[in-house]
Amino acid sequence: MRRKKIFVLSIFIIMLSISIMSFTNNSKNETNLKFDYTNATANIKKVLIDDGTYTDRIPILTFHRLVPNKIKNRYYKDNEWVGSIDTFEEMMEYLYDNGYKTISTEEFYDWYTGKVEYDKKTVLICFDDGFYEDYYLAYPILKKYDFKATSFVVGSRIEETTHKYMSDKKSYKKNTTYYIGQDVIDEVREEYPNYEFQSHSYNYHYYTKDGKHRIHSMSYEELVDDVDSMAKYKFSAHAYPYGQYNEIIQKVLKEKGYLVAFRFGPSDYAKRDNDQYAIYRIKINGDATLKTLKKWLNY
Ligand SMILES: [Zn+2]
């Protein structure tokens, strides 16, 4: 009888200890949760206090092909799509010396959606078409200044291996164009993620025989196919070829989870009231100088 009493008492004590332990654990977890929550709120507030220096617009500077100055003057003088890498370097030096901050497309999205604020010295640098000069000539300059930039590549032009850079005038005289290959995309993603790759369509970057932009004769299914062909790259931003877009491609990009899509014309600053799938970019023309850049930065 006594044994039974002791047994029941022991069971009772064990049960009591377990419930005390679990109560202590619970309250410990609650305290932790509370602490994290307070911290997160404090951070958000810190980011959102407006001291008058925050920007309401961001210049998205978009370059295309960049070649050495000598080549530009000799073969592409009046070509608005081909700029000088020497001028580009001057521009980057100016941004660096004047304390500008470069952001990625995802950081742009965070600003666009109001999650963060940036000051007026903030730019997004883009390259369209994935020309191999963007890697051989522009990439080392960006790395030198520790800058971020986005290269919008055309999926169907990505070969396995990037063509070796040809600096001689003869090769430029033949007007050959080469594009960044899979090898460079893999290497850069590993080596310097500040230089990111995003989508410039898989294969609708051309004019049809009747002289119209290909996108305008594409069906919903064709555009889904095109966007799906880029899925393996896990892109989250899209730049419309020639800045041309319509409601169908906007719908497809939204459905596929793209964060943003970029247009051109009329060139203007990106603002929070832009359509999420038609964000304004500034086209930096082939004849642009440092003065052109300063004009866009002074607002
Ligand atoms: Zn393009």
Whether the per-residue pLDDT at 281 is higher than 60: the answer is: yes
In angstroms and rounded to an integer, the radius of gyration of the C-alpha atoms of the chain is: 27
- Total length of the chain: 299
Whether the per-residue pLDDT at 21 is higher than 90: the answer is: no
> Are 109 and 198 contained in the same domain?
yes
Q: Residue 93 is part of which domain span? A: 54-297
3-state secondary structure 270-293: EECCCECCEECCEECCCCCCHHHH
> Are 215 and 259 contained in the same domain?
yes
What are the pLDDT digits (tens) for 148-189? 999 999 999 999 999 999 877 776 766 789 999 999 999 999
Q: How far is the CA of 108 from the centre of ligand 1 (A)?
A: 20
> Are 36 and 183 contained in the same domain?
no
> Are 13 and 117 contained in the same domain?
no
Under a CB-based contact definition with an 8 Å cutoff, are residues 138 and 66 in contact? yes
> Are 7 and 149 contained in the same domain?
no
Whether the per-residue pLDDT at 206 is higher than 90: the answer is: yes
Q: How far is the CA of 65 from the centre of ligand 1 (A)?
A: 10
pTM assigned to the model: 0.82
Relative orientation angle of helices 290-297 and 85-97, to the nearest 10 degrees? 40
> Are 35 and 89 contained in the same domain?
no
Residues surrounding ion ligand 1 at CB below 5 Å:
128-129, 241
> Are 32 and 179 contained in the same domain?
no
Q: How far is the CA of 120 from the centre of ligand 1 (A)?
A: 28
What are the pLDDT digits (tens) for 223-254? 999 999 999 999 999 999 999 999 999 999 99
